[in-house]
Amino acid sequence: MTKQVLLLVCASLLARPALAQSESQPKPYKVVFDLTSRDPLDQQAVLRWIHEISSLTPKTQIEVVMYARGLELVMPQKTTALADVKEAMSNAHVSFKVCAMAMKNQKVEKTDLLPEVVVVPDGIAEIVAKQREGWGYIKVAH
């Protein structure tokens, strides 16, 4: 690259106006988390991500879909993170959904779950539907 071209590139960059504060903030998005683990590290991770995402982009839509042993996160008698779960549920942009088939397989009743939890017929189908609607997908694991 010649010195003239380099100077022109630098001058062009310097001449650009600074980004406004609102433009530097990440734009809200939609993300679905896939939780199948009873591991407290995984459960704490998804709760931490919800908190961090909501702090940075408050209007981001977040859904946690639980099946297999992931259901335990929203079961008051089994979760180790009840206060954090309730805090996340207080956010209007966050939802927790559990798979009815997993509930049946594990003999879990709706009354075993926190009242704000939504039961969906099939957790995997819920995730696939969200992806078809353009939601990002994150598998919760450590």
Give residue 92's pLDDT.
97
Give residue 37's pLDDT.
95
> What burial letters (b/e) apply to 86-121, b meaning 16+ CB within 10 Å?
eebbeeebbbbbbbbebbeeeebeeebbbeebeebe
Among 10-14, 39-43, 71-75, 84-88, the minimum mean pLDDT is found in 10-14
Give residue 11's pLDDT.
40
**84-136 pLDDT, tens per residue?**
999 999 999 999 999 999 999 999 999 999 999 999 999 999 999 999 999 99
- Structural domains in the chain, sorted by start: 29-139 (3.40.1260.10)
**17-70 pLDDT, tens per residue?**
444 445 577 899 999 999 999 999 999 999 999 999 999 999 999 999 999 999
Give residue 35's pLDDT.
98
pTM: 0.82
- For residue 8, is pLDDT > 80? no
